[in-house]
Structure 1
Amino acid sequence: MGQFLPINRKEMDERGWQEVDFVYVCGDAYVDHPSFGAAIICRTLEANGFKVAFLSQPDWHNVEEFRQFGKPKLGFLISSGNIDSMVNHYTVSKKRRHKDSYTPGGKGFKRPDRAVIVYSQMARQAYPDTNIILGGIEASLRRLAHYDYWSDKVRKSIIIDANADLLMFGMGENSIIEVAEALESGLEIKYLTYLDGTVYKTKNIDDLSDYIMLPSYEEITSSKRKYAESFQIQYLNTDHYNAKILVEPYQGWYVVQNRPNRPLTQREFDRAYGYDYSRTYHPNYEHVPAIDEVKFSLISNRGCFGSCNFCALAFHQGRIIQARSHESILAEANKMVWDPDFKGYIHDVGGPTANFRDTACEKQKTKGACPTKQCLWPQPCKNLKVDHEDYLSLLTKLRQLPNVKKVFVRSGIRYDYLMYDKNDHFFEELVQHHISGQLKVAPEHISNHALDKMGKPRRGLYEKFVDKYYRLNEKYDKKQFLVPYLMSSHPGCRLEDAIELAEYLRDIHHQPEQVQDFYPTPGTLSTTMYYTGLDPRDMTEVYVPKDPKEKAMQRALIQYKNPKNYDLVYEALIKANRKDLIGFGKNCLIRPRTKRSNYNRPYQKGGARR
């Protein structure tokens, strides 16, 4: 396995380094595994001859921590880590989380709120004339002005708030080398204005051509309609092949977003995952919980053409699928299966969507994704390729490796794409070999009214999938469950939609153990609907459940059997004029307000059954 990068001055000295090219500052513990973006970027730099020191979870109150490696020759690379620091710190109800899976021992409070901004300010304080380059998910999704749920206001581009020199958005394996080589050649960072996948700030745009001027920061903070218009322009320019340069004016500044990076070739993708990763956390740490889910999992693809409205993947990874070769994945698996801790189970083979292994259509390979059309919603595009044979072939090869007992698929299966496949071969193999007792899928809701605002397929298709799934389980004598992911309070979801979902759960005898309230995060169409009350695609008004009481009702309805939710469910049914669901009949959700101890049946756990 590869040698870890130095995480302190002592380890730097042991390598005999007098100076490093970059100091990578990260809000996560240092885990040298390709599921961690920081590890990929650092290994990519290392493979290209650059010296990198890793500053993990520094004390942001102590500037000396940012000086321990000396001034880096080429600059600081700043990232919050694998997850946005605000999502990491706060629940959707804005309550503070006390655990952090990306910290040794799972301890909380090891990184600041808005980590990218704070780390950048400390690096600037340590060395005022150093280069500061932002990257990772937190910077990527805040590259232009954005609605910030936690402060309930529109914030400026993070490159301004962080006082940084350059921002890399999306997946940065190629752009980090272009930046590093340009700086190594002696080019000043202020001249790096031409690189795809980057954002910079400037006071002069006279040399720019073929760009789109977005509404100014002042306009979008004073007009929600202007904010929606700006988001829609950004949404239509997320693809390398057809995007324009975007310019966002501020008082005295312009923030310029270059085109997104081109998708990686398969050879480039393979190379990024083929470095000599240690595949674990630095030995100075106690256990880092985040490794548990990924240590024996394999990433096979990147990007997603599913384009759910509440997902930021279109803004970060893009809609064009990039896939690793079978040879690359098998090589990684062959290292993994000899690990002393490997018990014979490959936990997952997938990515954002496990069963996407190629572009949605041939056109995307040269022309990019259609800006104004979706591949799967509201109906599948006539040009959509539906083929699971390559993915199935990969899973079959992995099953045949030594020491492997089972290969599971636990990342998201796009059930609509699966249903569009006229060949049942993959579905049958999935049921027979690749489910660990329960298959997790994401219908998100059951009301067509809510589903349309989510960008998810309609109820009828999901019900056909459920029927087919259980028929195949019966055919192969399997007793496997379906666990549906469900979301409450998404923009467009009314109380009557939540009640429709509760009735569906009643009919299938399923009570979810967990419910996800819609979480407005930067970079999603749904967040724009949440903030503005407008669908930016056509500027129609959208009902947004923001009242805490109504949000609690919608969430409680999904778990209506839980006695703790009785009062909220009762109130919701009265408010919606659905007293017919209160009583002793088989279709009732709860019993009347008599003999409180007998209101509800016991709260039931377990997967959904027919």
Structure 2
Amino acid sequence: MQKELQLSDWLPTTNKEVKIRGWDALDVILFSGDAYVDHPSFGPAVIGRILESYGLRVAIVPQPCVTDNLQDFEKLGIPKLFFGVTGGCMDPMLSNYNANKKRRDKDAYTPNGEIGFRPDYATTVYSNILKDKFPDTPILIGGIEASLRRVTHYDFWSDTLMPTILESSKADMLVYGMGEQPLREIVRLMQKGVPFSSITTVKQTAVLLNADAKIPKNSNWEDVEIASHEVCLSDKKKYASNFKVIEQESNKLAARRIFQKVGDKTLMINPPCPTMTEAEIDGSFELPYTRMPHPKYNKRGPIPAYEMIKFSINIHRGCFGGCSFCTISAHQGKFIASRSQESVLREVDTVANMPDFKGYLSDIGGPSANMYKMKGKVQSICDKCVAPSCISPVICSNLDTSHKPLTDLYKAVDSHPKVKKSFIGSGIRHDMLVPEFNKNADPKELDDYTEEVMTNHVSGRLKVAPEHTSDPVLKLMRKPSFSYFHKFKERFDKINIKKGLNLQLIPYFISNHPACEVEDMANLAAETKDMGFQLEQVQGFTPTPMTVATVIYYSGYHPYTLKKVSTPISQKEKDEQHRFFFWYKEENKAWIRKTLNKLGREDLLKVLLPEKAEKWRKNKPTGETKNTYNDAIPFNQRKDKAKFKSHKKRR
């Protein structure tokens, strides 16, 4: 049984709690844009526990108020080492606004989902307040907001190109990515008496050097300079070209140190740390978390993000997909750091013994559900690799994609006497389960994994993310051809029938992504309708810092080819593309008919609105009717589907 928790089991958040621990001073004070949930899925808690494990006295100030007399920033005094600042588990602008730049009515990381407890650009706001009040105390910023804004970046919400967040926040140092390893070195040096200002060569950190500062030497690193912030402001192509360097160096095991001029200062981004070892990541997950929100929230209501992951288990970090619209690899890296099966099972036992556990684990997963234990077969090949993705455009022949360790882990988890069922809530890379695409793997292993998931880890619906149907769009997304989704669906249907499961396959799609045009969305609507889908899991592309797609959205250029790429920019373009997801709604039918008639795509109209297409055809003069589909033939087998393919080739 879980022990009865005391207030002192959480990191202190007030002076009263500091005194309960018998402390008269603090080494580090953390400020976070999230409510304090002491759980390994919440970054601020992880950082607090990591610092605590180094022997430091750590307190956390969650969601400090920035609209009063700012007492939250002064109440715990001045730390001996530094202030740590994070905007939270999401970029605050994503937490506060949707893809249409409208204020959200819920904040998942606040009790009861209430809004107004997190300022826009929280890291900058908090850091500026602290620097104003305590100018002589070092400020270290981290978390996803700082990590993805570490260099010149496009900010969708202000529609501006911003410099490194070190400039706007006035912070002294930035830790990017997962913070355990760089923090360990920073603390080690400070405990040896090294002044914070002299700590400039720690891996996975960035600092902004003054004009008169000497460049720190490190004979083990090569250096590379990218276009200055000022050049980026005047030359979008130069801004785009920067990103290729940034992304490649972020994903290399032996990366170069990056320099960028920002006014009369110099941004220095040190290379990333090596991928965490199994022992290191096990150690991080097995720190003494209470796994609960701080008791201060007991009367304020549940925290939605916590309720979602309360009974879930994270089994690895990192993602080698490298999707153009995704920030996971930019923050966690492309190399997978997997926990040992023993560590995972110990956490399962902890969760199973929580008082309100009913026997159901909501997720056994990670950034992508099925990348556990996957890595290069020959490490020396990975050491030299600069590719941002290990599976696009094809799966690397050096990548071990065996799903057997994961299948075995699922079975071990389910053998726990208190676990009735474990679900897979994380996204599954369906393409890696198709032998025609994943040629490295044993087809039987892939089928075993798919059957295990469908039989024992899904409740009615299996969600996967093909994202689009257009091959040119998918290529830019770094996703495989939609033909592999068809092949996965065939396997899914076969197992569904074989096992009598009656499961639904739910695909996710994105509209208005760079390279996507209205005609592509019409094709998507037609192809998915013909497959029997009425789409519901859809979203519009939201530009976020540190992605290929965002660089293209702002600059118009692909950072790897520097060729122009068309992108929906206006709200009208975005709305029109998104509308095709909902072809089945009555209010959209007249618009769809008009749009497809204008494009000369009666073939698509025939699929989406056959009765409208027939009426239109009969009223047109002879000779103007285009080829139409034979409705009795499945869409993906029709000979005149070549029209769709030819459209893709023109693009």
TM-score per shorter chain, which class? over 0.9
Give the corresponding residue for 2:269. 257
Partner of 1:29: 35
Report the counterpart of residue 51 of structure 2 in structure 1: 45
Task: Provide the secondary structure at the position in 2 that maps to 1:293.
Answer: helix
Residue 56 (structure 1) aligns with: 62
Secondary structure, in 3 states, of the residue corresponding to 1:111?
coil
Deviations 1:174-225 (A, max 9, x none): 1112112222332211111110010001123444463101111110110010
- CA pair 115-556 structure 1, distance change in 2 beyond 3 A: same
Report the CA distance between 1:356 and its aligned residue.
Answer: 0.6
Stretches of structure 1 lacking an aligned partner (at least 5 in a row): 594-610
Q: Is the 8 A contact 2:201 2:216 kept in 1?
A: no
- Match for 1:349: what amino acid? I
Aligned residue type for 1:107: E
CA contact 1:266–1:323 (8 Å) conserved in 2: yes
Aligned counterpart, 2:632: none
Specify whether residues 418 and 588 from structure 1 end up closer, same or farther in structure 2 by C-alpha distance, changes over 3 A only.
farther
Q: How many matched pairs?
A: 593
Residues 583 and 608 in structure 2, CA contact (< 8 A), matched pair in contact too: no
CA distance 1:590–1:152, shift in 2 (3 Å): farther
Q: Which moved more, 1:314-323 or 1:412-421?
A: 412-421
Q: 1:114 aligns with which of 85, 105, 121?
A: 121
3-state DSSP of counterpart to 1:483: strand
SS of match in other structure, 1:540: coil
Q: Structure 1 pair 590/36, CA: closer, same or farther in 2 (3 Å)?
A: farther
1:233 to 245, 265, 273: 245
The yes-or-no answer on 1:212 pairing with 2:224 is: yes
Contact 1:584 1:591 in 2 (8 A): no
- Which amino acid in structure 2 is aligned with residue 356 of structure 1? M
1:177 aligns to what? 184
Alpha-carbon distance between aligned partners in 2 of 1:444 and 1:94, rounded to the nearest angstrom: 22
Q: In structure 2, how many angstroms separate the alpha carbons of the residues matched to 1:590 and 1:333? A: 56
Deviations 1:284-338 (A, max 9, x none): 1032111111111100011111111111122111110110001100000001112
How far apart, in 1, do the equivalents of 2:388 and 2:513 lie? 22
Partner of 2:567: 544
The CA deviation at 1:550 is 1.8
CA distance in 1, matches of 2:321, 2:215: 38
Distance in 2, matches of 1:564 and 1:543, equals 28
Shift of 1:579: 4.2
Distance 2:586 2:129 in 1: 49
Of 134-143 and 510-519, deviating more is: 510-519
Match of 2:431 in 1: 416
Letter of the 1:64 partner, please give it: Q
| 1:400-442 Cα distance to aligned partner (Å, 9 max, x none) | 1012111111101111112124122212212211112111100
Q: What is the Cα deviation at residue 82 of structure 1? A: 0.6
Could you tell me whether the CA contact under 8 Å between 1:495 and 1:576 is conserved in 2?
A: no
CA contact (8 A) 1:32 1:277 kept: yes
Taking a change above 3 Å as real, the CA distance of residues 240 and 383 of structure 1, as seen in their structure-2 partners, is: closer
Are the aligned partners of 1:239 and 1:369 in contact in 2 as well (CA < 8 Å)? no
Q: Please say if 1:554 is aligned against 2:577.
A: yes
**Partner residue in 1 for 2:366:** 351
**For 1:258-273, what aligned pairs fall within 5 Å after superposition?**
258-273=270-285
- Indicate the SS of the match to 1:248: strand
* C-alpha contact (below 8 Å) 2:602/2:613 kept by paired residues: no
Provide TM-score, normalisation by structure 1: 0.94
CA distance in 1, matches of 2:270, 2:138: 19
Aligned to 2:377: 362
Distance, in Å, in 2 between the alignment partners of 1:331 and 1:415 is 29
DSSP-derived class of the 2:250 partner: coil
Contact 1:392/1:426, CA 8 A, preserved across alignment: yes
- 2:430/2:464 contact within 8 Å kept: yes
> For residue 604 of structure 1, what is the aligned residue in structure 2?
none
Write the letter of the residue equivalent to 2:281: F
Which residue does the alignment assign to 1:94? 101
How far is 1:280 from its partner? 1.1
- How far, CA to CA, are the matches of 1:349 and 1:9 in structure 2? 38
Alpha-carbon distance between aligned partners in 1 of 2:58 and 2:595, rounded to the nearest angstrom: 56
Does the Cα contact within 8 Å between 2:362 and 2:424 map onto a contact in 1? yes
**Contact map agreement 1:319 1:369 (CA 8 A) in 2:** no
Q: Distance in 1 between matches of 2:379 and 2:185?
A: 25
Question: Structure 1 585/379 Cα, relative in aligned 2: closer, same or farther at 3 Å?
Answer: closer
Cα RMSD for the two superposed structures: 1.9
Where does 1:508-587 land on structure 2 (aligned, <5 Å)?
508-582=531-605, 587=610
- Contact 1:58 1:66 (8 Å CA) reproduced: yes
Do 1:235 and 1:315's aligned partners in 2 also have CA atoms closer than 8 Å?
yes
Using the alignment, how far apart are the partners of 1:473 and 1:343 within structure 2?
Answer: 27
Matched-pair identity in %: 38
Q: Tell me, which stretches of 5 or more residues in structure 2 are unaligned?
A: 617-651
Say which SS state the counterpart of residue 514 (structure 2) adopts: coil
Residue 66, structure 1, aligned to residue 66, structure 2:
no
Tell me the SS of whatever aligns to 1:545. coil
1:148 matched to which residue of 2?
155
Paired with 1:162 and 1:191, the residues of 2 have a C-alpha distance of 20
SS class of match (2:296): coil
1:52–1:292 Cα change, 3 Å: same
**Which of the two has greater helix per residue?**
2
Q: Note if 1:475 corresponds to 2:498.
A: yes
- The one-character-per-residue Cα deviations of 1:98-130 (angstroms, maximum 9, x if unpaired) are 210100111001010000000001111221111
Partner of 1:599: none
Q: Per-residue deviation at 1:536?
A: 0.9
Write out aligned runs for 1:68-83 (5 A). 68-83=75-90
Label 1:87 to 1:4 Cα distance change in 2 as closer, same or farther (>3 A): same
CA distance, structure 2, for counterparts of residue 217 and residue 363 of structure 1: 39
The separation in 2 between residues aligned to 1:585 and 1:360, in whole angstroms, is 43
Given the two structures, how large is their TM-score scaled by the length of structure 2? Answer: 0.88
CA–CA distance in 2 between the matches of 1:279 and 1:564? 47
For the Cα contact (< 8 Å) 1:561–1:589, is it kept in 2?
no
Secondary structure at 2:40's aligned position in 1? coil
The equivalent of 1:497 in structure 2 is 520
- Summarize the Cα distance change of 1:197–1:571 in structure 2 as closer, same or farther, 3 Å threshold: farther
1:271-350 matched pairs, under 5 angstroms: 271-285=283-297, 286=300, 287-350=302-365
The 8 Å contact of residues 581 and 589 in structure 1, kept in 2 or not, is answered as no
Instruction: Note closer, same or farther for the CA distance 1:4–1:207 as it changes in structure 2 (3 Å cut).
Output: closer
Matched to 1:169, the amino acid is: Y
Superposed displacement of residue 526, structure 1 = 0.8
Q: Which SS does the other structure have where 1:573 is aligned?
A: helix
The one-letter amino acid of 1:22's match is: V
Change over 3 Å in CA distance of 1:93–1:570 after alignment to 2: farther
Q: Is the 8 A contact 1:320 1:364 kept in 2?
A: no
Contact 2:82 2:139 in 1 (8 A): yes
2:412 matched residue in structure 1: 397
Separation in structure 2 between the aligned mates of residue 592 and residue 256 of structure 1, nearest angstrom: 65
Distance in 2 separating the partners of 1:584 and 1:200? 56
